[in-house]
Structure 1
Amino acid sequence: MKKIAISIGDINGVGLEIALKTHEEVSRLCHPVYCVDKKVLQEGAKLLGVELHKELTCKSIDLDITIEPAKVTRESGTYSYLSFLEAIKLCERDECDAVVTMPIHKEAWMKAGLEYKGHTDMLRDYFKRDAIMMLGCEKLYVPLFTEHIPLREVPLHVKEKKLTPFLLDLHKSIGDKRVAVLGLNPHAGDNGAIGNEELEIKKAIRNANEKIGKELFFGPIVPDVAFAPYFRDTVQYICAMYHDQGLAPLKALYFDESINVSLNLPIVRTSVDHGTAFDIAYQNKAHTLSYINAVKAAIELAK
């Protein structure tokens, strides 16, 4: 049975509730190792009015903290960071086979003095690798070329020299899968009438396919039709140029079941595809399907 390190996320959000709710089910799939103090779990169980399972495996975090439901705090940001760091190290020491992460709060990380915009940024810095953020489910996966940057900066990144290596790294991670690559502009630029970024995308697609020796990447595809049923039924992977271009339609279609997968790394890391949900924190309302799917994907990828 695989050992999966669970990075607990922001303890003021829904992560603890999801972990406690699903422990029995997850334990039938793998051996979960929770990167959180037993004291914090006991506090969370009391707030939720649930019983804490006696056979939980925990890895203590060196920070004394108290749960403050739905509050953005420096302490919770630091704690979620330390939990993630411990989960990574468990994999590096071969004590665990993969990492599954609960949601962090980016403002809490900022308050904690952390420069990372999220898990993927930290993984890039930690491993000195160009990690790829991909979200989705078996029906549809959406790798993101750019992620947590201001929208006005996206066109500056859409250059052949950046996009070609991204597509090649994506191919190494997912194998010989066909990937639709979205254009940046409305109508995919209309052959230059509404922007010229698509010329760079076309070059990158052509170069990547030539290096692979197969026509696996195609496009640029008009973004506003790519997620329509008649098109998405023909392809499992749609590569988006920026965060909301890919994730707004993905979450409209598969919000509850979608997960986050980090590609192009020496460890396996999957995550829930939702935030800390402070509006329902410690109210026993959190959905668990995304987490269960993330655990299943981590087990599969760790084989």
Structure 2
Amino acid sequence: MTARPTIALTMGDGAGIGPEVCLAAALHPELQAAARLVVIGDARRMRQAAELLGRQEEIAAVSKVDDHEPGRVNVLDLDLLPEDLAWGRLSAVAGDAAFHYVRVACELAVAGTVQAIATAPLNKEALHLGGHLYPGHTELLASLTGTEEVSMLLSTPKVKVIHVTTHLGLLDAIARIEPGLVERTARRGYSAMRASGIAHPRIGVCAINPHAGEHGLFGYNEEAIKIAPAVELLRAEGMDIVGPLPADTAFFLAGRGDYDLIVAMYHDQGHGPVKVLGIEAGTNITVGLPVIRTSVDHGTAFDIAGRGIADGRSMIEAVRQAIEMSGPA
């Protein structure tokens, strides 16, 4: 019998919907059958989430991953949150706790104790208030694993997008883009598509400017200087890659199936279409880490936290993809 992988689910910001969506994934019968699921977080907060959702299943605090038992929600309990933590409110304590959930999960993954990490959302402002000055999960994971450069890949049933830049202001993002970074990002995306079972990925690369600059009419010739050299190099190596394409055209073509992957130049260029085309089942995969990490494709949703109405489908899909990517233990 093939051993099931062990997947760490980080609880995210305890004031947001992280506990609720973690509970939805941890109790999902198909996921329970496919893997050993361990939530890295606070058992008391998970019990509070279960109570507001009307779930009666046992929430068990464990001190190590090997204490996992089937038929219950196993929580590696860091016990960092106060009992009276308010739902839906910014909290330095919750931001600090969210950092430590990820830190512990990374340590377990690097040691091989868990085979993958699936992260619930954290709040960047709360993270900063808690003393951890990272732009987001992606940069935090890179720092914790000593990885110099990683990429964010968003996956939905209709389109997959990898980002050349992520958490930067638009002017800073454009300044950061250069042929080497575009090339390395496209290579990471190509490898991720191959690993997912696509033997010959078809890749479309977005331009920066409207109409791909219209031959210098818009912008300052960024497409020719920053993007085209990377595409030409990869095409010469045999990669099926096209660009730079106007972003609106690229996503239309990807939506109808012409491309397996789109390379977006900056955060909102990639995130906007993905959220229109499938945020409910969308996931975020960090490509380039020495560990497997998937995540929900949404935020902490403070406006609905603690009301028992959070949609757990993205977290379920993130765990499903983590299981598929990790394989047997």
TM category, shorter:
over 0.9
Residue correspondence of structure 1 range 276-295 to structure 2 within 5 A: 276-295=300-319
Are the aligned partners of 1:170 and 1:264 in contact in 2 as well (CA < 8 Å)?
A: no
* Alignment-mate amino acid for residue 215 of structure 2: N
How far the C-alpha of 1:129 sits from its partner, in A, is: 3.1
Are the aligned partners of 2:254 and 2:262 in contact in 1 as well (CA < 8 Å)?
A: no
- Between the aligned partners of 2:81 and 2:288, the Cα distance in structure 1 is 34
Are the aligned partners of 1:42 and 1:52 in contact in 2 as well (CA < 8 Å)?
A: no
Residues 1:80 and 2:98 aligned together:
yes
| Selected match of 1:65 from 59, 70, 82 | 82
- Between the aligned partners of 1:64 and 1:252, the Cα distance in structure 2 is 34
Residue correspondence of structure 1 range 134-213 to structure 2 within 5 A: 134-175=153-194, 176-195=200-219, 196-199=221-224, 200-210=226-236, 213=237
| Selected match of 1:28 from 17, 25, 33 | 33
SS at match of 2:251: coil
Aligned residue pairs, count: 301
SS at match of 1:121: helix
1:157-215 residue CA offsets vs partner (Å, 9 max, x unmatched)? 222133223223333333341210000000000111112110121111112333xx213
- Between the aligned partners of 1:296 and 1:129, the Cα distance in structure 2 is 27
1:21-77 residue CA offsets vs partner (Å, 9 max, x unmatched)? 343313233211110232222233334443242522221215343331001110000
Q: Which moved more, 1:137-146 or 1:39-48?
A: 39-48
Q: What fraction of aligned residue pairs are identical, expressed as a percent?
A: 31
- In structure 2, the CA distance between the partners of 1:21 and 1:162, relative to structure 1 (3 Å rule), is closer
1:264-288 residue CA offsets vs partner (Å, 9 max, x unmatched)? 1111000010001111111111111
* Alignment-mate amino acid for residue 162 of structure 1: L
Residue correspondence of structure 1 range 237-252 to structure 2 within 5 A: 237-252=261-276
SS at match of 2:160: strand
How far the C-alpha of 1:124 sits from its partner, in A, is: 1.8
* Alignment-mate amino acid for residue 222 of structure 2: E
How far the C-alpha of 1:249 sits from its partner, in A, is: 1.2
Regions of 4+ moved over 6 Å: none
* Alignment-mate amino acid for residue 173 of structure 2: V
Structure 1 spans left out of the alignment, 5+ residues: none
Aligned to 1:117: 135
- Between the aligned partners of 2:147 and 2:257, the Cα distance in structure 1 is 36
1:228-265 residue CA offsets vs partner (Å, 9 max, x unmatched)? 26864211211110111111111111121110001111
Are the aligned partners of 1:144 and 1:243 in contact in 2 as well (CA < 8 Å)?
A: yes
- In structure 2, the CA distance between the partners of 1:128 and 1:290, relative to structure 1 (3 Å rule), is same
Residues 1:132 and 2:158 aligned together:
no
Q: Which moved more, 1:35-44 or 1:185-194?
A: 35-44
- Between the aligned partners of 1:201 and 1:65, the Cα distance in structure 2 is 49
How far the C-alpha of 1:149 sits from its partner, in A, is: 0.5
- Between the aligned partners of 1:40 and 1:231, the Cα distance in structure 2 is 39
* Alignment-mate amino acid for residue 187 of structure 1: H
TM-score when normalising by structure 1:
0.93
TM-score when normalising by structure 2:
0.86
Q: Which moved more, 1:292-301 or 1:58-67?
A: 58-67
How far the C-alpha of 1:106 sits from its partner, in A, is: 0.6
- Between the aligned partners of 1:69 and 1:22, the Cα distance in structure 2 is 20
- In structure 2, the CA distance between the partners of 1:230 and 1:144, relative to structure 1 (3 Å rule), is closer
How far the C-alpha of 1:8 sits from its partner, in A, is: 0.5
